[in-house]
Amino acid sequence: MIPWLSTLFIGKRYIKRYFGSSFVISIYEIISHIYGRKRKYWKFYDKPKSFIRDELPFDVGPYIPMSMWLLKYSYGNFKKYVFYNVLANGAFAFIFMPLLKRIKIIKLDRLNYFQFFIYIHYKAYLLYGVQYLIEKIKKG
């Protein structure tokens, strides 16, 4: 809920500009999480297991708003974009995931923290590419 509330401050222009690519990558992220769930990359502590209750909130909750914020502040400067994504994905993989394990929400099972970082970070390049294609089509 909090990440979505933050979009109130991003500006209507940027929401319109970046929502499409963020949404496309979010769909890709959902598919990726379905695959990760089958491969048992992580385990949620709660019972019974439910994709809608476990993985989906991570996909829809912070992913779309964070993507829009990162694009707003760095699109057009690829080095800056990569730097911000390394910071955000690194914080999630190396700080937030151990915290979620400590409070018994989720733990990594078949991945270590670095592998998980790679698993979430490569999608940043896809996001940038999708946004680039959208911008190219609009200018068309």
What is the pLDDT, as a whole number, of residue 100? 94
Length of the chain counted residue by residue: 140
- 86-128 pLDDT, tens per residue? 999 999 999 999 999 999 999 999 999 999 999 999 999 999 9
Residue 46 has pLDDT above 90, yes or no: no
CA distance 130 to 134: 6
Residue 78 CA from chain centroid, whole number: 18
Of the two residues 124 and 57, the one the predictor is more confident about is: 124
| Cβ 84 vs Cβ 73: under 8 Å | yes
